[in-house]
Structure 1
Amino acid sequence: MALVDRRGIVAGWSRAAGELVGRPADEVLGRSVLRLLAEERRARLPERGEAVLRCGGAGSVRVRYRVEELRGSPFSLVVAVGAGRAAEAEDADAVFRALLSQDRLGFLLRDAGLAVVRSNVLPGKFGGPPQPVGSVLSEVMDGKDAEETERTLRDVLETGRPLAAQEQHVRSTRPPYQEWSLSYSAVRTEDAAGRPTGVAIFLTDATEHWRAGQRAELRHRASAGVGNSLDIERTAQEIADTLVPEFADIAWVDLADAVLTGEEPPKTSGGGDLLLRRVAVRSADGPWPDQLLPVGATVPPFPDRPMVREVQEGRTIRMDRGAVEEMLKDPASIRFAAPEGGHSLVIAPLFARALLLGAVGVWRAERPEPFDEDDAELLTEIAAQAALSVDNARRYTREHRAVDSLQRRLLPQASTSTRVMETTGSYVPAEAGAEIGGDWFDAIALPSLRTALVVGDVFGSGLHATATMGRLRTAVQTLADLELAPDEVLTQLDTLVARLAAEAEPGHRDTVGATCLVALHDPVTRRCVMASAGHPPPILALPDGPAEPVDLQPGPPLGVGGLPFETATVDTPPGSVLCLYTDGLLRRYGPDLDTATLDLADRLARLQRSEENLPSLSKGLMTGGDGTPFLDDAALLLARPSALDPGSVASWEFPAEPGAVGAARNAATEKLTEWGLEGNAFVTELIVSELVTNAVRHAGGPIGLRLIRGELLYCEVTDPSNTQPRLRRARTTDEGGRGLFLVAQLSRRWGSRYGQSGKTIWAEQELVEEFPE
């Protein structure tokens, strides 16, 4: 700065002027200011402009100056600055003006205390939270956000390290509550001496991009996380888990009662009882609030309001708490429906294939920003996709229940009890997500107190496997009535399965097959003969001893053909337990079937010591193992033989001669008298006479006679012939041929079976302990 009079004589000269021009005050004072000009002489100095001044010594300096008259004084003040510095100042001022005029790029200049000095982040001018001059971070954003941002800016102020493209989520502290995502960069500002004076911050509003990313991530999570199983309730829970906490603070899923059983929901319109049940819930705070409707509860009736009809018509509704309270009115209903602090609600219908399956509702309570239209559209999209998963689970449930019902109807009664055998069967279908297979069990009462025990497992799953199981079970019962040996039963079944495979479509022939185990228990010998077609061996638990798998060599599965089936015979003392099962049960005990079999045997032995009740024992075995879900259906058959009093069995052997008939008749009569069954004597004498007479005439000897007293009276005659006895109606002129006809008429039922040599003809009678009148 220089002070000049009206004549242009320099009267004052500042130190900065001397440094700029390189002339001390004594060289300038008292002389004309025009002598400092390096250019052509001028008559006077213009009020403002640029000039080139001669420096002390050689050289010059270009300056930009301005002349200001001092009122009431004969002097004027000349202010000059280097032209380069002036240009920088003008550029800086232009940059400031440009930055402050932006509406998409935010600019903040904060001082050393991080208070705003200059700002264009003002209401209505920038998308983020307003930050007026003088404000500090805690005044414009949530406390946690403010602390994090201040810590970052302090680091820039202290270290001088710039910050580039830092992402920051910001929530406003004042209504209308909003949440933004900002990308900001920051640099430290310094004075001429290099001392920090504050921080310059550049902002861009990335909220839309951030929200789009959030929505895309939520869509992906819903697509990947919903519908992973075919269990309706699990699918509903997956919907709720997807929405909380990223999208909402509270979520619930209500489904029609009919949907849970696999049926189509009724078409309803308007309010009233909508036949809905709460199936899944999720709260961001953890436990589900006590006052809200819990899982499993029936949804209370709704008033007939337009919003209810909109959901029924497949439209999503968005409401604030006031609208909810206005619709429900009843304080108790409001407590059931609206969480404490909940201020914004969206309900989207689960609409699929023209069926309203239910609805999904979400509340915001902790986060202050309400749902907007974009949020409602997003929930609509997620609900539409989830509805297809729910409907797929519903349709699977319907088919699963139908096949399960068919399977159970094809199985025999769970428990049977006779004088010499108690059995209990259990069946568990595959859990949700897996199709029902063709496992079955059977306990078939045979003549002479014998019992056939059967378990089998058809290859494949679904309705086809169930139908095949029904055909095989029918065949087993028919073959058992023929009283074939276990290995012969499997041989006949093998032929049947091969025929079924031949009837199947070409692409499915390799999948038709089954494993099967047949055991035949005889209470007289207290032994059990068994054979296996590719089936796991049974486990025999002795009354006071260990439980071990039976040493049984299994043959090939049914349908393979070409190989024989071997039999094994084990003693089954009274009180022992014979355990027959399918591999679906073994897999619950572990992936390695050999180890699982030993674990099952060990559990059977331990349970048998404490459980005398067969149903409880069966339940304990079914719920044992490592808790692995039943991915395949499982069948279990437990059989406990009882003691048959040796005095209830009498047997004789006679030669094949005419006198054997009378001897056999007398022996039978004496034994019946001893048993107190004189009422059966007359019929028994006739049956014994006819059967022994036939044996003497047509079969030869020796001839065996055996009487067994149980729930019925069994009479058996054994001869060495393999000729099939045949019932026929004799003509009036025939002298014979009426023997078996009389046996059939006098007995409850009769039949024959073959042994390794010869045959046995048997007949049953009801017990008559007194003489008939």
Structure 2
Amino acid sequence: HGFRDDCPFYPAGQHVELLPGTPQMRCLTGRHPVLEPELASAAGWIAQDPERSRRLLDQGVHSLIVVPLLARGVLLGIASFYRSQDPAPFGDDDTRLAQELAARAALCIDNARRYTREHNLALALQRSLLPRGLPEQGAVEVAHRYLPAESGVGGDWFDVIPLSGTRVALLVGDVVGHGLHAAATMGRLRTAARTFAELELAPDELLTHLDNLLVRLDREEGGDEAPGSTGVVGATCLYVVYDPTTRQCTMARAGHLPPALVHPDGRVTFPDVPAGPPLGLGGLPFETAGIELPEDSTLVLYTDGLVEDRHGDIDVALDRLRAVLAHPDRAPEETCRAVMDAMAPEHPGDDIALLVARAHTLPAGRIAAWDLPADPAKVCDIRAAATRRLAEWGLEELAFAAELLLSELVTNAIRYGGEPIQVRLIHDRTLICEVSDGGSSAPHLRRAASTDEGGRGLFLVAQLAQSWGTRYTPRGKVIWAECALDAA
């Protein structure tokens, strides 16, 4: 491929079968430079394509150097240097110069190949660790986008985690750095965050556990002093829990940007959530903030790649985001599309993760709650009230299972928990039975011996319920059990 368009070299991309005696094939097989000072007498070169060779000679091309492209002991190809304007043929000095040029070019090519391979591996790893689909839940309507950086895959991630009591957790995070290390760290954090969320930890407690995890990872990997280390492990994170029965939203952030809240009237605000330190510093506290979401409002979580630009002002970018979001009638999917079209750069220098969630409210008619004293005689009253409510909901088939569940849970609350005691039924995708009390001790499922008089109640709960568990509140704990609506 020549620098002159009128020279009849082979066009770029054309497949060429080289004959054994050509200078190019001798260079490939011998891995050493080949000098042909006079092409007019180079029989092997002429034999490759006599017609093309004659046309090149007619254009004044008269001398050739072929050098191998060697990098780290691997032959990547060859480079051919022709001379036409200078009448002097190539010499040994020209060969050494061409060899040096080829060695530098080969190293650059090999570095690019290695970088591309690592980039593709990191991208494949990151995509395999991100959610493949969204879980079924009715608390929010969700849409999401993920756009990897053009120059190197980072550690951005997002997640949607259903919780007990119809609640849902939303999470976005960003691991420091790029490449395989960042993608692997992101996978560890996402797995840990899901585990901590299922333990029903409060947002600030969950971030504390993630912070401790990163400190341990950094210590185990040796920090900056370890061979091949990419530096201190760190990340930012925003964790949000939304309860559609009360419209309460609790959130905490670790060095992450605050979410955007789109109100039903089109106003866009950024809730005042204490920033907190980034994850990985260790020993610093996080704070939880709580707000009540208006019905049909939209919460937008994102990573810094969407709004941060080394050449721009982040406040200007946030104002642009506010203007794009000021359309409350858009569905989450449409909002995602509009935000990415308006905000995402053509060549992103950092990963972008975007999570848009429209909040729903569970109708009050689908929730029933009763307060009761710590009196065992009231258990039958609760069973009767629950049966009547299930009949109103058209769930008479679940009455028997619900009575057994409530009998066991309420009895345990009276015996081991103490006041205040409350029973709550929620008719959602499943029937949820909740019993809260003032105790802090969690029940444990155990194997009762044949001679034991008790200890079988939770086993019965586990058999009747689709799932069950415990979560803690500022006033005590909640034992919950879910029954599938088609269980009967």
- The TM-score, its normalising length taken from structure 2, stands at 0.83
Secondary structure of the equivalent of 1:517? strand
Q: Does 1:650 align with 2:365?
A: no
Aligned counterpart for 1:373 among listed residues 82, 86, 90: 90
**Residues 347 and 766 (structure 1), Cα distance of their counterparts in 2 relative to 1, 3 Å cut:** farther
- The one-letter code matched in structure 1 to 2:106 is A
- Whole-Å separation in 1 of the counterparts to 2:296 and 2:410: 36
- The Cα shift of 1:465 comes to 3.2
Aligned counterpart for 1:540 among listed residues 261, 265, 270: 261
Aligned counterpart for 1:421 among listed residues 140, 153, 157: 140
- The one-letter code matched in structure 1 to 2:256 is H
- Whole-Å separation in 2 of the counterparts to 1:589 and 1:638: 25
**Residues 348 and 728 (structure 1), Cα distance of their counterparts in 2 relative to 1, 3 Å cut:** same
- The one-letter code matched in structure 2 to 1:412 is P
Secondary structure of the equivalent of 1:656? coil
Q: Does 1:357 align with 2:72?
A: no
- The Cα shift of 1:747 comes to 1.0
- The Cα shift of 1:407 comes to 2.3
Q: Which residue is equivalent to 1:751?
A: 469
- Whole-Å separation in 2 of the counterparts to 1:359 and 1:617: 51
Aligned 1:650-729 pairs, distance under 5 A:
650-729=368-447
**Residues 447 and 506 (structure 1), Cα distance of their counterparts in 2 relative to 1, 3 Å cut:** closer
Q: Which residue is equivalent to 1:109?
A: none
- Whole-Å separation in 2 of the counterparts to 1:407 and 1:688: 44
Q: Which residue is equivalent to 2:21?
A: 306
Aligned counterpart for 1:485 among listed residues 192, 198, 202: 202
635-644 vs 345-354, greater mean Cα deviation: 345-354
| Aligned partners of 1:437 and 1:633 also within 8 Å | yes
Secondary structure of the equivalent of 1:550? coil
Q: Which residue is equivalent to 1:446?
A: 163
- Whole-Å separation in 1 of the counterparts to 2:88 and 2:453: 102
Q: Deviations over 1:420-441 (max 9, x none)?
A: 3233343333323x4x433222
Q: Which residue is equivalent to 2:174?
A: 457
- The Cα shift of 1:299 comes to 3.9
- The Cα shift of 1:301 comes to 5.3
- The Cα shift of 1:472 comes to 2.2
Q: Which residue is equivalent to 1:401?
A: 120
Secondary structure of the equivalent of 1:708? strand
- The one-letter code matched in structure 2 to 1:557 is P
| Aligned partners of 2:168 and 2:241 also within 8 Å | yes
**Residues 565 and 360 (structure 1), Cα distance of their counterparts in 2 relative to 1, 3 Å cut:** same
- Whole-Å separation in 1 of the counterparts to 2:310 and 2:167: 32
**Residues 409 and 342 (structure 1), Cα distance of their counterparts in 2 relative to 1, 3 Å cut:** farther
- Whole-Å separation in 2 of the counterparts to 1:454 and 1:491: 15
Secondary structure of the equivalent of 1:511? coil
- The TM-score, its normalising length taken from structure 1, stands at 0.55
Aligned counterpart for 2:356 among listed residues 638, 641, 646: 638
- The Cα shift of 1:368 comes to 5.7
Secondary structure of the equivalent of 2:174? strand
Gaps of 5+ in 2: none
- The one-letter code matched in structure 2 to 1:467 is A
**Residues 430 and 764 (structure 1), Cα distance of their counterparts in 2 relative to 1, 3 Å cut:** same
| Aligned partners of 1:497 and 1:559 also within 8 Å | yes
- The Cα shift of 1:710 comes to 2.4
Aligned counterpart for 2:252 among listed residues 531, 541, 559: 531
- Structure 1 vs Structure 2 CA RMSD: 3.6
Q: Does 1:471 align with 2:192?
A: no
| Aligned partners of 1:549 and 1:601 also within 8 Å | no
- The one-letter code matched in structure 2 to 1:499 is R
Q: Which residue is equivalent to 1:249?
A: 3
**Residues 398 and 648 (structure 1), Cα distance of their counterparts in 2 relative to 1, 3 Å cut:** same
**Residues 502 and 566 (structure 1), Cα distance of their counterparts in 2 relative to 1, 3 Å cut:** same
Secondary structure of the equivalent of 2:454? coil
- The Cα shift of 1:750 comes to 0.7
**Residues 637 and 354 (structure 1), Cα distance of their counterparts in 2 relative to 1, 3 Å cut:** same
- Whole-Å separation in 2 of the counterparts to 1:665 and 1:391: 74
708-717 vs 556-565, greater mean Cα deviation: 556-565
Secondary structure of the equivalent of 2:157? strand
- Whole-Å separation in 2 of the counterparts to 1:712 and 1:342: 83
Secondary structure of the equivalent of 1:392? helix
**Residues 688 and 744 (structure 1), Cα distance of their counterparts in 2 relative to 1, 3 Å cut:** same
- Whole-Å separation in 1 of the counterparts to 2:187 and 2:198: 17
**Residues 506 and 354 (structure 1), Cα distance of their counterparts in 2 relative to 1, 3 Å cut:** closer
- The one-letter code matched in structure 2 to 1:470 is G
Q: Deviations over 1:68-98 (max 9, x none)?
A: xxxxxxxxxxxxxxxxxxxxxxxxxxxxxxx
**Residues 515 and 747 (structure 1), Cα distance of their counterparts in 2 relative to 1, 3 Å cut:** same
Q: Which residue is equivalent to 1:9?
A: none
Q: Does 1:559 align with 2:287?
A: no
| Aligned partners of 2:158 and 2:172 also within 8 Å | yes
Secondary structure of the equivalent of 2:307? helix
Q: Which residue is equivalent to 1:731?
A: 449
Identity %: 46
Q: Which residue is equivalent to 1:159?
A: none
- The Cα shift of 1:743 comes to 0.5
- The Cα shift of 1:454 comes to 1.4
**Residues 684 and 393 (structure 1), Cα distance of their counterparts in 2 relative to 1, 3 Å cut:** same
- Whole-Å separation in 1 of the counterparts to 2:35 and 2:236: 56
Gaps of 5+ in 1: 1-239, 241-247, 251-282
Q: Which residue is equivalent to 1:98?
A: none
- Whole-Å separation in 2 of the counterparts to 1:384 and 1:726: 68
**Residues 342 and 521 (structure 1), Cα distance of their counterparts in 2 relative to 1, 3 Å cut:** farther
548-557 vs 528-537, greater mean Cα deviation: 548-557
- Whole-Å separation in 1 of the counterparts to 2:180 and 2:423: 48
- Whole-Å separation in 2 of the counterparts to 1:713 and 1:684: 9
- The Cα shift of 1:406 comes to 2.2
- The one-letter code matched in structure 1 to 2:207 is L
**Residues 407 and 317 (structure 1), Cα distance of their counterparts in 2 relative to 1, 3 Å cut:** farther
- The one-letter code matched in structure 2 to 1:472 is L
**Residues 449 and 362 (structure 1), Cα distance of their counterparts in 2 relative to 1, 3 Å cut:** farther
Q: Deviations over 1:312-339 (max 9, x none)?
A: 334468768x99896358x9xx8xxx99
- The Cα shift of 1:347 comes to 6.4
- The Cα shift of 1:714 comes to 1.5
| Aligned partners of 1:677 and 1:768 also within 8 Å | no
- Whole-Å separation in 1 of the counterparts to 2:370 and 2:59: 90
Secondary structure of the equivalent of 1:587? coil
